[in-house]
Structure 1
Amino acid sequence: MSNPSGSKSPYLLLSALLVSEALFVTGYGLQLMLLPIRGGMEGFSAVDLGLLGSSYYLGFVAGCLLTPVLLSRVGHTRTFAALVSITAAVSICYPMLAQPQFWALLRFITGICLAGLYLIIESWINDRATSSTRGTMISIYVALNYIATAVGQMMITLYDASSFMLFSVASIVISSAVVPLALSQSPAPQPPSLVRLRPLHLFKLSPAGTTAIFLTGMAIGALWSLGPVFALSKTGDLASAAQFMSAVVIGGALAQWPLGKLSDHFDRRHVLIGITLAATVASVTVALLPQLSGGWLIFAALFGATVLPSYAVASAHVFDVADRSEYVQVSGGLLLLYGVGSAMGPMLAAVAIQWFGLAALAAFVAVVQLAIVTFVVVRMRLNKLQVVTDKQAFDMTTAAPVVPAGFGAPSSGERFDARADD
């Protein structure tokens, strides 16, 4: 692809976009930490909090389907500005009416906006990247996402969570995200093509990979939606809870690349089984601990390092058996499956919490991880190993649960892996 801006560095062209992304994710990270805690203060039940998480992910799925239509009509920059503005406005509406159904509606709208913003950012990066810069660009993007999320979570200690101030701070930071991109001279990419998504086709293509992604969505959706309240119950104070959740995020960020590279050299299903077994042990341990203290931040990081990277490895496994002509369709389908799982997870975990207490959240994550292990092992027993050519090397594009359409052409290679129908 030719560079539409002449000889300018692609990193320079993307700098404004990445600054905008970092500001947005920082504000949203604060909101992500604040809402479950404030909801608990307002008397929301565990089911109410689970409803908020499920509503967000339902909106996320809707956003994946609606955003390409907006892009085709008004382009990337205007759509980005509109979605940021809507998210900022929604962020300040929560304390106006502390009612679960109202908050669920706001979370649904936020989910639509977040899906659209991720699609815009990732398609923009893809448009500017070349085969020699794509890996570095995506690495920077994913790292910024995790760092900004952790910073936003820690901002909850700035003011009392029962006040209006933290919602105002989140809204201000989110709204400021539109400024760098609006003032940038970087040309916008062409709108993406509309793609037909076929989840059932993906399941036939790779039952193990697609099921693992669906179940991973359930676990991670429950963790993001109810984790702050769980951490607060285990640590005893807001600052420690924020540190715990930030440690989970940082652990996941640090583990993405090495685990992905490990899956390039060994059967990805073996790596996935190892990750999910470790996540099961970590989840059970967290559930059984009566209290978490500062010394357990390392353990929180290990928890994140085992739970969060599963999507990347499972996604890479699906791409291994997909035809190159299907990559865009596969990316969208996997994101849709992840979103549906993430919508179901918070509600199921909330019901478990309602019955057994907050420790049931970690137990729920453990059960889901065991389900992944069981299904993958069964699939491996049903299928003999064979050599797969045109093996896709691990790419940081699969490191986040928002898989960009068309990112990264796989490199060729040869190794033992599953047959094409798994």
Structure 2
Amino acid sequence: MAKALNPIAALLLSVALMLLGHGLQATLLPVRADLEGFSPLAIGIMSSSYFGGFVLGCVMAPFAVLRAGHIRAFAALVSLGSASAILYPVLTAPVAWIVIRFAYGFTLAGFYLIVESWLNERATNENRGALMSTYIIVNLAAITGGQLLLTAIDPGGFTAFVLASVAVSLAVVPISLTRSQQPAPITLVRFRPGKLYEISPAAFVGTFFIGLANGTNWTLAPLYARQIGFDKAEVAYFASAIIFGGALAQWPMGRLSDRMDRRYVLIGLALAASVIAAAIGWFEPTDAVIAIATAGLLGFATQPAYSIAAAHAFDHVESDGFVEASSGLLLANGIGSMIGPIVASLVMQRVGPSGLYGMISFVMFALAAYIMFRMFVREAPSARLHTEFDLAGTAQVGGVLTPELLDESHPNVVLPEFSPVPHVTPDPEAVAEAWETAWDEEEAEAVPPDPEQEIVTEPDQASADNGAEREEAPKAD
């Protein structure tokens, strides 16, 4: 295990630092915005703008990597994230925070893309499970740890933002000093909702509804806790309980879905979440222990839903379709997450804080009803096509993780300009043209892709020197 993790130790340290700052901001910002007198609608739009930036980042960040390479793109994105974190107390206006939060969402999407490309490059059939599972654990632990930092910091001061900015800034240090080669493969997101719906309507619609509920719960739970009278420590515990409860449920719920039609598990989780959210909204528990416990139960029911819906989609696609399916589901979920906080904030503004969980209860009940309807329309995939649940490949993080190793001949997978293979330099126009052509169904069926048609250019002197250094490095060791 240690031997498998050593090559990515620096990468995992960067992930922990970046997401520590991210977790702190996720809990701090709704609380501070409420202290600054922002309306619930303004806070909802701010939360939605984060997901808007994330969706745009999923689409555009790969081109930054293609242009500059992984390490330089990583440094630029982390610098942008650090600047975003420190600007909040300087520009205390709703419009400014909405713009800053959008920029940070873009940053985090690019961060996930680069990290997961790196992990895919290091993964083999033998160590893939260990690498990806460790990555997910670090991801969840760092976000939870960042949320809990609020228990020791005054949300009304400047210190919390400084700490968030410092944590994000330090994330670039381990990667900048690593001696590991930056990875070659990068994925281009291709979002065809019609095609994805045709493959698996339950998964496509399901991830959208899950985004409506989870995106709302993640971003507005701290605001809810503050509005019902919790102090800063109780707000942090309430928000982190949702993530912690979801972390506990991921593996057992995933394994359960391996033993039956995954839609049964989705229905059960959605109905449980609907009941729990309705109870929170109706009784509005003001006892901190009860409220935190119910938040954990709600996280247990809602957080695994995305992974199971993704696994259900993978049951209906061949291995060469995992890249597009994974990216498409992530974008569908992101679009739902953009809409959810705005709708919930309007409900909260009208009926009070309990409206947040009333809205989540309705969404999860609608999800259960839709999945039930789909079960009458389409049978479950046969046991032969039922893939084994893979938490790493279905995790709700970035769009690059897939249940199998990336295939560099796939039209969505290209080589960056600064790749470890110095003689291969993609022409962006040719890549775009090939990408469009490859996904045209009629043309793809009529003209199979020719693996010999590669975009190859002569290396310039810098690339040649770069390649020589790579060849000499093992000898020096």
For normalisation by structure 1, the TM-score amounts to 0.92
Please tell me the residue identity of whatever aligns with 2:25. Answer: Q
Preserved contact between residue 142 and residue 399 of structure 1 (Cα < 8 Å): no
Residues 162 and 375 of structure 1: is their aligned pair in 2 closer, same or farther, counting only changes over 3 Å?
A: same
Deviation at 1:298, TM superposition (A): 3.0
C-alpha distance in 2, partners of 1:251/1:287? 19
Paired residue for 1:289? 283
> Aligned ranges for residues 213-224 of structure 1 at < 5 Å?
213-224=207-218
**Are residue 395 (structure 1) and residue 390 (structure 2) matched?**
yes
Preserved contact between residue 37 and residue 228 of structure 1 (Cα < 8 Å): yes
C-alpha distance in 1, partners of 2:394/2:329? 13
Preserved contact between residue 235 and residue 293 of structure 1 (Cα < 8 Å): no
Paired residue for 1:5? none
Match of 1:274 among 247, 250, 268: 268
Local SS of the residue matching 1:95: coil
Q: Residue deviations 1:289-326, cap 9 Å, x none?
A: 33132244333221111111100000100110012221
Preserved contact between residue 248 and residue 305 of structure 1 (Cα < 8 Å): yes
Local SS of the residue matching 2:89: helix
Preserved contact between residue 211 and residue 337 of structure 2 (Cα < 8 Å): yes
**Are residue 300 (structure 1) and residue 302 (structure 2) matched?**
no
Q: Which piece of structure 1 moves more, 291-300 or 156-165?
A: 291-300
Give the unaligned 5+ runs of structure 1. 1-7, 411-422
C-alpha distance in 1, partners of 2:89/2:187? 39
C-alpha distance in 2, partners of 1:384/1:335? 24
**Are residue 140 (structure 1) and residue 134 (structure 2) matched?**
yes
Paired residue for 2:330? 335
C-alpha distance in 2, partners of 1:195/1:346? 25
C-alpha distance in 1, partners of 2:174/2:381? 50
**Are residue 314 (structure 1) and residue 302 (structure 2) matched?**
no
Please tell me the residue identity of whatever aligns with 1:69. Answer: F
Aligned CA-pair RMSD: 1.6
C-alpha distance in 1, partners of 2:381/2:83? 53
Preserved contact between residue 213 and residue 314 of structure 1 (Cα < 8 Å): yes
C-alpha distance in 2, partners of 1:170/1:406? 26
Preserved contact between residue 282 and residue 354 of structure 2 (Cα < 8 Å): yes
Preserved contact between residue 309 and residue 399 of structure 1 (Cα < 8 Å): no
Paired residue for 2:125? 131
Deviation at 1:205, TM superposition (A): 1.1
Deviation at 1:367, TM superposition (A): 0.8
Match of 2:343 among 321, 329, 348: 348
Match of 1:196 among 150, 174, 190: 190
Paired residue for 2:411? none
Match of 1:212 among 195, 200, 206: 206
Give the unaligned 5+ runs of structure 2. 406-477
Aligned length: 403
Please tell me the residue identity of whatever aligns with 2:23. Answer: G
Q: Residue deviations 1:64-114, cap 9 Å, x none?
A: 111110111111111111111110011010111211111100011001101
Local SS of the residue matching 2:186: coil
Deviation at 1:341, TM superposition (A): 0.7
Preserved contact between residue 123 and residue 404 of structure 1 (Cα < 8 Å): no
Please tell me the residue identity of whatever aligns with 1:250. Answer: F
Local SS of the residue matching 1:160: coil
Residues 278 and 377 of structure 1: is their aligned pair in 2 closer, same or farther, counting only changes over 3 Å?
A: same
Paired residue for 1:28? 22
Local SS of the residue matching 1:92: helix
Deviation at 1:196, TM superposition (A): 2.8
Paired residue for 2:376? 381
Paired residue for 1:261? 255
C-alpha distance in 2, partners of 1:157/1:406? 33
C-alpha distance in 2, partners of 1:36/1:399? 28
Paired residue for 1:53? 47
Deviation at 1:401, TM superposition (A): 1.4
Deviation at 1:383, TM superposition (A): 2.5
Quote the sequence identity (%). 40
Match of 2:404 among 409, 413, 420: 409
Paired residue for 2:82? 88
Residues 388 and 166 of structure 1: is their aligned pair in 2 closer, same or farther, counting only changes over 3 Å?
A: same
Paired residue for 2:409? none
Deviation at 1:192, TM superposition (A): 1.0
Preserved contact between residue 86 and residue 162 of structure 2 (Cα < 8 Å): yes
Q: Residue deviations 1:322-355, cap 9 Å, x none?
A: 1222111111111111111110111011111111
**Are residue 118 (structure 1) and residue 95 (structure 2) matched?**
no
C-alpha distance in 2, partners of 1:406/1:21? 15
Please tell me the residue identity of whatever aligns with 2:390. Answer: D
Please tell me the residue identity of whatever aligns with 1:186. Answer: S
**Are residue 166 (structure 1) and residue 157 (structure 2) matched?**
no
Preserved contact between residue 202 and residue 374 of structure 2 (Cα < 8 Å): yes
Match of 1:184 among 178, 181, 206: 178
C-alpha distance in 2, partners of 1:101/1:293? 33
